[in-house]
């Protein structure tokens, strides 16, 4: 299962687009649609929306794989999209340790 277009748009809308590097709520350098910079990534001249969308696709793929690995029951597309958004924002460890996952499975 893959995040559908509506799920991707939800992430883009909730994250918002930032041209320049900023510190997220936890103090990590972030750019584009909520992409946390990983050393040695730098964007001294900022980022375009096209670049940010390409990076977002990569970040979402990681979240999709985590959801596919952790969920052991059939779920709807909407549930999958919501779980990918959860992992994108909070990380796979938070889902793995959550009551949500335990109850769902």
Active site residue 24: yes
CA atoms within 13 A on the CB side of 70: 25
Q: Which of 74, 69, 73, 61 is nearest to 7 (CA)?
A: 61
Q: Which of 9, 24, 41, 62 is catalytic?
A: 24
Q: Which of 2, 9, 15, 59 is catalytic?
A: 15
What is the 8-class DSSP label of residue 73? S
Query: Measured in Å, how far apart are the chain's first and last C-alpha atoms?
Result: 17
Active site residue 15: yes
Cα dist from 38 to 29, 61, 105, whole Å: 9, 16, 32
Catalytic residues: 15, 24
């Amino acid at each position: 299962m893959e995040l559908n277009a509506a799920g991707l748009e939800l992430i883009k809308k909730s994250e918002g687009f930032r041209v320049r590097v900023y510190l997220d709520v936890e103090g990590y350098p972030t750019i584009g649609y909520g992409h946390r910079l990983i050393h040695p990534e730098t964007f001294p001249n900022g980022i375009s929306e096209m670049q940010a969308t390409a990076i977002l696709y990569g970040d979402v793929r990681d979240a999709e794989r985590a959801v596919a690995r952790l969920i052991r029951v059939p779920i709807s597309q909407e549930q999958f999209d919501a779980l990918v958004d959860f992992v994108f924002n909070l990380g796979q460890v938070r889902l793995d340790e959550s009551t949500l996952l335990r109850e769902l499975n």
